[in-house]
Amino acid sequence: MASTVTTSKDSAATSRPGYGRLLRTRGAWTFLLPGFAARQPFAMLTLSIVLLVQHTTGSYGAAGAVAAVTGVSMALFAPYSGRLADRHGQRAVLVPGVLVHTVAGLALTALALTDAPLWALFAAAVPTGASVPQIGPMVRARWGVRLKGSPLLTTAAAFESVTDEFTFVVGPLLATALCTAVDPAAGLLTEAALTLVGGLLFAAQKGTQPETGRDGHARVEHVSALRVPGVRVLIVTFLGIGSVFGGMQVSLAAFTESIGEPGLNGVLYGVFAAGNMLSGIACGAIAWKTAPQRRLVIGYTALALTASALWTAHSALLLAGLGLLVGMCIAPALITGYTLVENLVPAGARTEAFTWLTGAVALGQAAAVTVAGQLEDRLWGGAGFLVPMAGTVLALATLLALRSRLATPPRGRTVARGVGHRESVAVD
C-alpha cells in the first residue's frame, strides 16, 4: 500500500489536479464502482419513508416525524460506526450493518402497511437509521489513503460531492416513481435491497480500505475527532446544509401535491440536486488559490441568501430556478468542509470525522423534516421552505463567529490533546 500512495503522490505533483488524473489513481475503481452502488439507497431513504407513511396515515407531520427519527438515529450512531471502522476496519463494521439495515427497513415497511400505531413506526425507524451504512465517509477515507499529501485531495473531495449529488438526482426520481407508479412501499423495499447488495459488494473490496491499528506497523492512538475544534464548527455548518435537504424534501412534496402535480416532486428535487452536482464538477476542476476557510465563508453566505428566497416561490418554474441556485451553493460548502477535514484531522480519526459531518447533515435533515412537516400541515403549502432559511442563517452566524478555529495547524503541532500520531511538542 505504501508504494501505491507514493506513486499517486509523485505523479499528481507533476501535473495540474484534475478528474482525469484522479480517476487514474491505482486501485480507485475497485472501490468507486461498488461504493456508488452502495450509497444510492441513502438518497432514497428519507423520501421513501415520507411518501409511504404519508400514504398510510394521511399526514405529512407523521411522515416527517418518522423520517426524523430515522435521521436522528443515523446522526447519533454514525460517528460510532466511523470510530469502529477506524479501529477495526470498514468491512468489520459494514457487513453486520447492512444486514441489520435490511431487516429493519423491511420491518418498517410492514408496520406502515398494516396501519401500526405511530410509536411502532418510531421503534422500527431507530434501527433503520442507526444501521445506515456510511459509504460516503468510507470512500473518502480510502481516497485519503491513496492520495496522502497530494494536491488531488481537493479534487477527490469535489468528485465525491458530485457523486453524492448524482445519487440525489437519481434517488428521489427513483423513489418517487416507485412510490407513485408502482406501490407506496416500493421505494423503501428497493432501498433495502440495494443497501444489502451494494453494501456487501463494497465490503468485499478489502485491499483498498485504510489500515487500522491492528494492521499497521506503528501504533495509532484513536481519540475522537470531535475533540478537534474545527470539526465542531464544521458540524454546525453541516447541520445547516441538512436543514436545506430536509426542508426541500418535505416542502417540495407538499407544494407539488397542492398544485395537483405530485409527479413533479422528483423532478424539482432532481433540478435542485443537479445544481449541486454541476457546481461540484466546477469546483473540482478549479485549481483554488483562495484559502479553504475563506471559500467556506463565501460559499455559505451565498447558500444562506438563496435558501432565504425559497419560501417566496409561488410557481413550479420559479421554484425550480431557485432550487437550482440553492443546489449550486451547497456543493462548494460541502467540498470545502470535507477538504478541511483532511487538513485538520489525523488519518487515524478521519472516517469518524467524516461520519460526524454526514451525521450532522442527517440530524439537520431530520429536524428540518419534522418542523417543515408541521408547518405544511398547519400553515400554507410551501411554508416548510422557511426551515432552510432559518437553518442556514443560524449556521452562517456560527461560522462567522468561530471561523478562526478552521485554521490549519502548523506541521508538527497537535490539533487536540491526544489526537494524532505524535507526541505533543513545545512550539516556540
Q: What is the mean pLDDT of each run of 10 residues along the chain (428 residues)?
A: 42 54 80 81 82 86 83 79 78 87 92 91 91 83 76 76 72 82 90 88 78 53 66 89 84 77 73 79 71 84 90 79 88 83 71 79 79 76 82 91 73 42 34
Residue 110 pLDDT = 93
3-state secondary structure of 221: strand
Residue 222 pLDDT = 53
Residue 226 pLDDT = 66
Map the chain to HEC letters: CHHHHHHHHHHHHCCCCCHHHHHCCCCHHHHHHHHHHHHCCHHHHHHHHHHHHHHHHCCHHHHHHHHHHHHHHHHHHHHHHHHHHHHHCHHHHHHHHHHHHHHHHHHHHHHHHCCCCHHHHHHHHHHHHHCCCCHHHHHHHHHHHHCCCCCHHHHHHHHHHHHHHHHHHHHHHHHHHHHHHHCCCHHHHHHHHHHHHHHHHHHCCHHHCCCCCCCCCCCCECCCHHHCHHHHHHHHHHHHHHHHHHHHHHHHHHHHHHCCCCCHHHHHHHHHHHHHHHHHHHHHHCCCCCCHHHHHHHHHHHHHHHHCCHHHCCCHHHHHHHHHHHHHHHHHHHHHHHHHHHHHCCHHHHHHHHHHHHHHHHHHHHHHHHHHHHHHHHCCCCHHHHHHHHHHHHHHHHHHHHHHHHCCCCCCCCCCCCCECCCCCCCC
Residue positions counted in the chain: 428
Q: What is the DSSP letter of 291?
A: -
Q: What are phi and psi of 323, to 5 degrees?
A: -60, -40
Residue 82 pLDDT = 76
| Nine-digit cell string for 225 | 475527532
| Nine-digit cell string for 61 | 407531520
d(CA 191, CA 38): 10
End-to-end CA distance of the chain: 36
Residue 212 pLDDT = 66
Looking at residue 115, its amino acid is D
Angle of helix 386-402 relative to helix 229-258, nearest 10 degrees, comes to: 170
Residue 309 pLDDT = 86
| Nine-digit cell string for 203 | 465490503
Residue 102 pLDDT = 92
Residues sharing a CB contact under 8 Å with residue 211, sequence separation 6 or more, in sequence order: 1, 145
